[in-house]
Amino acid sequence: MNRAEVLEHMEPILNTQVREVEHNPRTRVLVTPEMVTFRPGGGQRLMEMTPGGVQSMAKFVGLPLPLAAHLHPETLGNVTTELLGSKNRYSLVLKDRAITNVVRRGEYRTINPERVLRTIESAIPEVEFHRVLVLDDLVTSLEVIGDRRQPVRSGDLIQAGANITFSPLGTVDPLVQSYALRLACTNGMTDNTVLREFHYGRGGEGDDIWQWFRRSVRQAYGALDHIVNRYRQMIDEGITPEHRAQVLTAMLREARISGQDAEAVRALAIENPPENRYDILNLITRATSHIIERPQAVRRAQIAAAGYAHEHTSGLECPLCHTRRN
C-alpha cells in the first residue's frame, strides 16, 4: 500500500473539517420540527446540524436534553443561541457540510496526515504501509513494517514495524507502539514494549510533534529483538491439554471476541490445539487479521493480545483469574 492508497482509506476522516467560529450578535441557532440549522452570522448561509451535532450543541452550552425536548422549537432556538453567546469562541466539526460536533476552540489540533506518512517514511528504511483502520472518534490506526525480519522459531519469521494511532483532527493524543507482522499467516501483533504518547502543550519528551513521530517510530521499529525474545519465552510457557479451553475462553473474553468470530477462533484451536502461550497469542492475533472485520473490534482485540504478551504479565500472571504466580 502506498501513501496515496493510505490517504484514500482515510477519506471518511479527511472529509471532516474543523471551522473556528467567533460568536456575534447575528449568530443564530434555528430550530423547526424538521431540522436544526446554524447561522454563523455576517449573512452567511445556514448549515444543517446532524442529530449528533444537535446533542453536542446542547451539551456544549449546558442545556439538558430532557429539558430541550420539552421546549417549543422557537424557544429552544432562542435559548440555545443565548447560551452559545456566552461561549464567545468555539469550533464546529463538519462532515459533508453538516455540523456533527461543537467543541471548545482549540480543542482539536489538526495534524497533516500526508506529513505524518512522510515522517514515517523517513524513520523506517524500506517502509511499507501494511493496513489502515479507521476507528471511532475520527482516529486512524496505521500498521507499517520495514525490511527487518527475525525468526521466533524455525520457519516462523516476524517482520519489524510500528503501529501509529493518531487523528488528523487531533481528537486523541498520537500514540506509537511497536508492531510485529508474523509472516506465517500475516497476522499482525501490536506489542506494548514501546508505548509513547505525545501530549499537546507538553510535547513528546521536549520535541515538537514531527521529531516525536520520527523518534517514536524508529524506537518502535528497533524493538524487534526484544519482542522476539519475549515470544520465545512464551513458547516455553506451556498450557496443559485440560486447561486449553479455559485459557482460550478467558482470552476471548478479554479481547471481547464473541459470537461467530469466537466460534471461528475455537475452530482454529481444534484444528491446531494451542500448546503454549505463544500459540494462544497467535490465535487471537490471527482473528484480528483474518476473522474480525469491524476496525474498532480489531483494535480492541489487538490491545488485549498486547496485554497478554506484555513482559510484566507473561509468565507471572494467570490468564484465567489474573492472580500473580510465585
- The phi and psi torsions of 293 (rounded to 5 degrees) equal -110, -35
Cell representation of residue 83: 447560551
Predicted confidence at residue 24, as pLDDT, reads 87
Opening angle at CA 240, ends 239 and 241, nearest 5 = 120
No. of H helices and E strands in the chain?
Answer: 12, 11
Predicted confidence at residue 193, as pLDDT, reads 45
Predicted confidence at residue 200, as pLDDT, reads 59
Cell representation of residue 312: 510484566
d(CA 3, CA 245): 42
Note the pTM of the prediction, 2 decimals: 0.79
pLDDT tens across the length of the chain (326 residues): 899 999 999 998 888 888 888 888 889 999 998 999 999 876 668 899 999 999 999 999 999 989 988 899 999 999 999 999 888 889 999 988 899 999 888 788 888 999 999 999 999 989 999 999 999 888 999 999 999 999 998 888 899 999 999 999 888 889 898 888 888 766 555 544 444 556 655 444 445 889 889 989 998 999 899 889 999 999 999 999 999 999 999 999 999 999 999 999 999 999 999 999 999 999 998 898 889 999 999 999 988 888 888 754 444 455 544 544 44
